[in-house]
Chain A
Amino acid sequence: MTTIDRTARERVERASRPGRRRHPARPAWDEEPSVAGKTAKAVTLVVICLAVVLPLYTILLTSLSTQAAITRAGGLVLVPGELTLDAYRQVLAGGIVTRAVLVSVGITTVGTALSMVVSVLGAYGLSRSGSLGHRAILFTVLITMFFGAGIIPTYLLVSSLNLINSYWSLILPTAVSAFNVLLLRSAFMNLDQQILDSARIDGAGDWRILTRIVLPMTKAVTSVIALFYAVGYWNAFFQATLYINDSDKQPLQVVLRAMVLQGQTVPGQVEVGAGQVSSLAIQMAVVVIAIVPVLLVYPWVQKHFTSGVLIGAVKG
C-alpha cells in the first residue's frame, strides 16, 4: 500500500508472533489482531450479512414460486416448492418494463449529471467562509430543507412552465438537494486550505482549483453524492404519477408499482383484473427487478473510495 523503510518493517515483523500468516493487504506497520478479535469481527460480519441475505432469499424464492406454493405458505415462501419464472415473464412481457428502464436510465443519467454540476458548483461557491453573501446564500439553501411546498402549488408551477408530460418535470424540481450540497460543502471545506491557498498564489482561478484540485481530492464524497442523487431519480415515483400523462413516458418505478397494485381490493364492486400469476410472486419479482441495478452500481461507487487521498498527497 505505502512504502515503508526497511528497519520499521523489520521491527513490526519481529513484534508479530512468528509462524502466523499475514494478510497480504495488511500494512507492515499494522500489528496482527488477536484470534479472538478476528473471530468476533468475522462472526459479526457474517451475522449482519445473514440478516439481509435470508429475507432476500425468501423474497427471491417467493418471486420464483407458483401460486400453489404461495397459497400453501400463506405469504412469503421459506421452503422451496414448485418453481416457475411466470412472474418474471409477466412483468417483463411486451417490452413495457424494458422501455421504462430506458426512460429511467435516461432521467437518472441526465438528472444526476445536472444535479452534480449545479451542486458541486454551489458547494464550492459556499465553501469559502467569509466570502461575500456566503451566509445569506447558505441560509437560502438551508431553508429549503425545512419548508416544503404542497402538491398543488408545485403542480401549478410545473404546469405554468409547460413542463407537464415532459421529462424535465422529473428532473428540475428535485435537481438541487440542500442536504447533498451541505455534505459536499463540508467535504470541500475539510480539505487542507493550504493546498488551495498555494494554488491560488500560483495564479490558479476558482474554476481551475475546483476541477484540478478539489474534485480529484474529494472523489469519494462526490461519488457518494452522485449515488444519492442517482438513487433519488431512480426511485422517484410520485412526481411521475403527477406530471407524466403518457403511458409510454412513465419511468420504471411507476410501471413496477402499478404491477404491485394488482390484486389489491378496490372499494365497491369494481373487479380489478387478477391474472393466473400470483400477485405476491409479481410483487416480489418487482422487488428483485428493482434492486438489480442497485446491486450493479455499488462496486462502481466503491472504486472511488480509495483513490482520493493519494492524489491529494501528490499535490500536497
Chain B
Amino acid sequence: MAVSTRPPSSSATPVPPRRERRRGHANEVKLPLRARLRRDKGVLVMCVPMLLLLGIFAYVPMLGNVVAFQDYSPFVGIRNSPFVGLANFERVFADPGFWNALANTLAITGFQIVFYFPVPIVLALLLNSVLSARVRVVVQSVVYLPHFFSWVLVVSVFQQLLGGAGLLNQALRAAGHQGVSIVTDPDVFLFLVTSQTVWKDAGWGIIVFLAALAAVDPALYEAAAMDGADRWRRLWHITLPALKSVIILLLILRLGDALTVGFEQLILQRDAVGADVAEVLDTFVYYRGVRDGNWSYAAAAGLVKGVVSLLLVLGANKVAHLFGEAGVYSRR
C-alpha cells in the first residue's frame, strides 16, 4: 500500500528494526566475558546508583517479608518470633473470603482493562488531532485535575450526582418518577467504579500517550497524505504503530497490577453494595491483617499477590513476544 513507501524502520519510527537487532545478539553472545565487560562497562556503571538505591530501600526491607512464615510480633522482633512454616498461607487459602475477594478483584480488573484502559488512548488521539495548541493545553490541564482529588471527594461527587438524594434523582422525582438507585445497586457496581476511575484518572492517563505521539515524525503523515492516505488510514498506519509499544508496555504492567484495584475507592463504597461484591484483595488483607496488626498474615497475602502478579507479567510478556513485540522484559 501507499504508505509503505516509507518503511516503518526509517528515521524516527518508534518500532525498532527487530531482525537486525537479533542478528546483533547472535554475534555478541560469542564474545568472551571480558570483552563484553569492556564493551558494556559504560552502561553497567550507569545502573549502579539505581541498583544501590533499590538494594537498600527496596530489597533490605523486603527481607522483612520473612514474617509471612512466622508468628511475628513487632515487640519481640523478626529474629525472635517463632517460625510457623506455611500456617499463614494456609489461613489465607482456607478463607472463603479470600477467594471471594480474588474473584471480585479479577472481575474489576478485567472490566477496567476493557472499559477503562482504551479511554486515555482514544482521548489522547482526539486531543492530538486538535490543531489549536491553546485548546490542547487548556483541555489537558483541565481533564487531568481529577487525578489529584482524593477518592473521598470523587465518591462524594458521584453520590451528589447519582445518589438517592442526588441531582439525578431529585430531577426524576420532580418529574414524578420513582427514582433510580445506582450507587446502591450491586448489579451496576462494576460500571459505577469503572466510570469513577475513568473520570478520575483517564485525563491523567492521556499524558504518556501524548508524549509518545510527540515522538512521531510529522514527515511521515505528510508523505502518507501525499500518497493519498486519508486521516483514518494515517491513524491506523502511522499513529497507532507509534503508540503500540507503549500501549503494550502499559497493558502488561497493568496486568501486573491486576490484583490491585482502588483500595480507598472500594472501602468507601463497601457498605453501599455489600462486601460480597466490593471486597477486593487489598481490602480483605487490610481487614484480616493490617488493621489488627496481624503482620504475618498480611505479609503472607502480600507474597501470594506478588507471586501471582509476577507470573501474570511474565506470562503477558511471553504472549507479547509471540506477537513479535518487545514487551517489558526482553528475551535476551
List residues of A whose CB falls within 8 A of some B CB: 1-2, 4, 8, 12, 23, 25-27, 29-31, 33, 41, 44-45, 48-49, 51-53, 55-56, 58-59, 75-76, 78, 117-119, 121-122, 124-135, 137-150, 152-154, 156-157, 161, 172-176, 178-179, 181-183, 186-187, 189-193, 205-207, 210, 217-218, 220-221, 223-224, 227, 231, 235, 287, 290-291, 294-295, 298-299, 301-302, 304-306, 308-309, 312-313, 316
Contacts and interface: CB of A to CB of B under 8 A. Distances in A.
Contacts of A30: 221, 225, 231
B153 interface: yes
B131 A25 contact: yes
Interface string B24-58: 11001100010011011011111101110110111
Interface of B: 11-17, 20-21, 24-25, 28-29, 33, 36-37, 39-40, 42-47, 49-51, 53-54, 56-65, 67, 74, 78, 123, 126-127, 129-133, 135-137, 139-146, 148-150, 153, 156-157, 160, 167, 199, 203, 207-208, 210-212, 214-219, 221-222, 225-226, 230-231, 245-246, 249, 253, 256, 295, 298-299, 302-303, 305-307, 309-310, 313, 326, 328-330, 332
B213 to A, nearest CB: 8
Contact of A179 (B29, B133, B150, B253): B253
Contact of A33 (B17, B231, B309, B328): B231
Contact of A125 (B47, B249, B329): B47
Nearest to A5: B226
Contacts of A231: 148
Given A145-B256, A150-B302, 15 more contacts: A75-B156, A128-B43, A132-B39, A132-B44, A150-B61, A150-B295, A176-B50, A176-B53, A176-B57, A178-B54, A182-B328, A190-B215, A220-B215, A235-B148, A287-B149
A137 B47 contact: yes
Given A2-B218, A142-B328, A224-B211, A149 B156 contact: no
B49 A117 contact: yes
B309 A146 contact: yes
A231 to B, nearest CB: 8
Contacts of A221: 208, 211-212, 215
B303 A147 contact: yes
Contacts of A29: 221-222, 225-226
A52 B143 contact: yes
Contact of A23 (B127, B131, B150): B131
B276 to A, nearest CB: 28
B137 A190 contact: no
B61 A132 contact: no
